[in-house]
Amino acid sequence: MSTLTLKIPPDLERDLELASREEHLSKSELVRRALAAYLNQRPEPGFRSALDEAGDLVGCFEGGPPDLASNPRHLDDFGRS
């Protein structure tokens, strides 16, 4: 097993120490589990969500109705060619 050294702020160290005692696990084991959980929840390499693709366009529009369905007039021609 490899060794990794990292610096953490005092409040995180306190929380880690407390969790270690409560869980009856070493701090190293807790950090390994947390890192593995984080890495396992990440999207696969190369995957880009619609939000990733939209980038800075998300939230850039101001004005207009909050929901087009709130006024049937906005849906008059919806679905028609």
Which pLDDT score, from 0 to 100, does residue 9 have? 96
Is residue 4 in some structural domain? no
How far apart, in whole angstroms, are the C-alpha atoms of residue 35 and residue 56?
29
Domain that holds residue 60: 10-75
Which pLDDT score, from 0 to 100, does residue 60 have? 73
49: nearest Cα among 39, 58, 40, 37 = 58
pLDDT tens figures, 10-65: 999 999 999 999 999 999 999 999 999 999 988 777 888 888 888 787 777 777 76
pLDDT tops 70 at residue 81: no
Q: Which residue has the higher pLDDT, 66 or 5?
A: 5
Is residue 20 in some structural domain? yes
Is residue 80 in some structural domain? no
Total number of domains constituting the chain: 1
CA distances to 16, 61, 65 from 73, in Å? 56, 20, 12
Is residue 3 in some structural domain? no
- Which of the four pLDDT bands, split at 50, 70 and 90, describes residue 68? low
Is residue 81 in some structural domain? no
